[in-house]
Amino acid sequence: MYKKSIFWFRQDLRTYDNVWLYNAVKNSEKLLVIFILDKNIIDDFLWLNDKKFWFIREALERLDSEIKSLWWEGLKVFYDKPEILIPELTKKYNINAVFTNRSYWNYWKKRDESIKNTLSKSNIEFLSYKDYLLVEPWEVEQRKVFTPFYKLWQKVDFDTNEYKITDKIDSIKIEENNEAKDYISIEKHPYFTMDFWVKRLEKYITNDYDLYRNDLDKDWTSKLSPYLRFWIFSVRQIYNLAKNINQHFVSEMAWREFWQHIDYYFPETKKIEFQENKRHIKWRHDEYLFEKWCNWETWYPVVDAAMKQLVETNWMHWRARMIVSSFLTKDLLIDWRWWENFFKKHLLDYDENVNYWNWQWWASVWADPKPLRIFNPVLQSQKFDSQAKFIKKYIPELINQNTKAIHDPIDNELDYTRIIVNHKEAQRETRLVYKWEKD
């Protein structure tokens, strides 16, 4: 039992079924609960005044209310560098232990190790545990391809208990932290709010999920990825709901964990092509074409609508992610690392490990049994947005345009601008660049 402890919230913004928060309460006489707006991260890519950050601020507001319902002292939010702040707090308030849930990004792992080493010199324990994943990366024998990984993943006897805090505990009073107050003033994100996931969680984990999840014009994906990114609910909670209803949804959860597995075993390939024989690809570094893609000006309506959805909502439909990534890397032959940075800037559910490896998969430089996938934007548009409802929602200039023409801007004149590349010609060049011939 520790006399005084800190619990450090990170990408686990909830009190229900928060494993190491539960253990901190069980093993401490007094507790200080904190969240740190990490200057090292925020100053790099998270802008505190944009709508992307509104989601986090609302999540912190909700978390503060949850904590106050458990014990009277609420969440303390700081804007600082954790490697400086944590040792300062432990010294100032005579803290014996720091509890937190394990993180997996490279920066986070190095940061935590640094903090742990600093605290150990003062005989203060730094305790981290699994909460973000059902299965730790090293609990599955090394695999490069998802299907063999998934078979092993399903055999791991992981904990599915949901932990509910019932114990009362004394709070540690600290001085007011005025600097952070301005960063948590609440403005609701226009597309995602904290009550949103509760309504969708049970509704979309259904037997019909597989039938419609690829359709761009239907509201049939769960849209839970931002809530998963910050774990507004727990991985065990969603697994327990899904396991007896929809195994495909469970496999989607396993994909998240597969990318963490890959990062653990192959960290050196995160920013280079996983396949050595794909490192020869001569990517174009064409800023003009890249800007056209970023600014939804490719004049392929399905690509442009998807890019506009991302910038406006900080989220993109999963099928749309595949379409725009294929277009960038296969039609424009632009380096996949360029758009990884663009998604990092705009995507609310951005997870470094998931994003890097997904982009490699979509760029066909990943260890995948199928050597080359080239998505035809015309066929994708026809199949997954047959009435062009999705396209017209985000590209209203086309609302009165003929649907057939919208799907196929190569062979049809649109009340729009001409396409920046001809897909039929581009795919032939791509096959040569990738040095792959059709069977």
The residue type found at 275 is: Q
Residue 439 lies in a domain: no
pLDDT at residue 434 is higher than 70: yes
- The pTM assigned to this predicted structure is 0.89
Q: Which residues pair with 255 in a beta bridge?
A: none
pLDDT tens-digit readout, 2-55: 999 999 999 899 999 999 999 999 999 999 999 998 888 876 555 555 677 888
Q: What are phi and psi of 431, to 5 degrees?
A: -60, -35
What CATH number does residue 121 fall under? 3.40.50.620
Single-letter amino acid, residue 242: A
Domain presence at residue 185: no
Whether residue 140 is found in the same domain as residue 127: no
CB atoms within 10 A of CB 26: 12
Question: Does position 137 have pLDDT exceeding 80, yes or no?
Answer: yes
Q: Are residues 428 and 367 in the same domain?
A: yes
Instruction: Give me 145's structure tokens.
Output: 């391809």
Do 331 and 386 lie in one domain? The reply is yes
Asked whether residue 291 falls in the same domain as residue 251, the answer is: no
In a domain, 51, yes or no: yes
Secondary structure (3-state) at 349: coil
| Strand, coil or helix: 177 | coil
Single-letter code of the amino acid located at 111: R
Q: Which domain holds residue 382?
A: 269-433
| Span 113-131, pLDDT tens digits | 999 999 999 999 999 999 9
Summarize pLDDT for 372-424 with one digit per residue, the tens. 889 999 999 999 999 999 999 999 999 999 999 999 999 988 878 889 999 99
Rounded average pLDDT over 271-293: 92
59 half-sphere exposure, CB direction, 13 A CA radius: 24
Alpha carbon distances (Å) from 438 to 93, 331, 371, 432: 67, 17, 10, 11
Distance between the two ends of the chain, CA-based, in angstroms? Answer: 65
Tokens of 265: 């075993």
320, 217 Cβ separation under 8 angstroms: no
One domain, residues 74 and 209: no
Q: Which of 265, 285, 302 is the last residue of a domain?
A: 265
pLDDT of res. 198: 66
Enumerate the β-bridge partners of residue 2: 28
Same domain, 322 and 216: no
Q: How much is the pLDDT for 52?
A: 76
437, pLDDT greater than 50: no
Q: What is the rounded distance in angstroms from the CA atom of residue 109 to the CA atom of residue 334?
A: 31
Amino acid residing at 320: A
pLDDT one-digit tens code per residue, 297-356: 999 999 999 999 999 999 999 999 999 999 999 999 999 998 877 888 888 888 888 888
360 inside domain: yes
- 165 domain residue, yes or no: no
pLDDT of residue 75 exceeding 80: yes
- Residue after which a domain boundary falls, among 233, 265, 297: 265
Which ranges of 168-300 does DSSP label H, i.e. alpha helix? Answer: 178-181, 196-204, 209-212, 225-229, 235-242, 247-265, 287-294
Whether pLDDT at 438 is above 50: no
Does residue 166 form part of some domain? no
Calculate the average pLDDT of the chain: 88
Which of 218, 244, 265 is at the close of a domain? Answer: 265
Task: Please report, for the domain that includes residue 294, its CATH number.
Answer: 1.10.579.10
Q: Find, among 38, 34, 100, the residue nearest to 73 by Cα.
A: 34
Are 147 and 75 in a shared domain?
no
Chain segment 76-114, per-residue pLDDT in tens: 999 899 999 999 999 999 999 999 999 988 888 999 999
DSSP string, 352-415: HHHHHHHHHHHTT-SS-SSS-----HHHHHHHHSTT-HHHHHH-GGGTTS-HHHHH-TTTS--S
Residue 77: what are its φ and ψ, rounded to 5°?
A: -110, 130
Look at residue 341 and tell me if it is in a domain. yes
Q: What is the CATH number of the domain that holds 236?
A: 1.25.40.80
Q: Are residues 15 and 48 in the same domain?
A: yes
Residue 167 included in any domain: no
How many domains does the chain divide into?
A: 3
Beta bridge partner(s), residue 31: 5, 171
Q: Clarify whether residues 368 and 248 are in a common domain.
A: no
Token digits of residue 78: 């700081």
pLDDT for 49 equals: 59
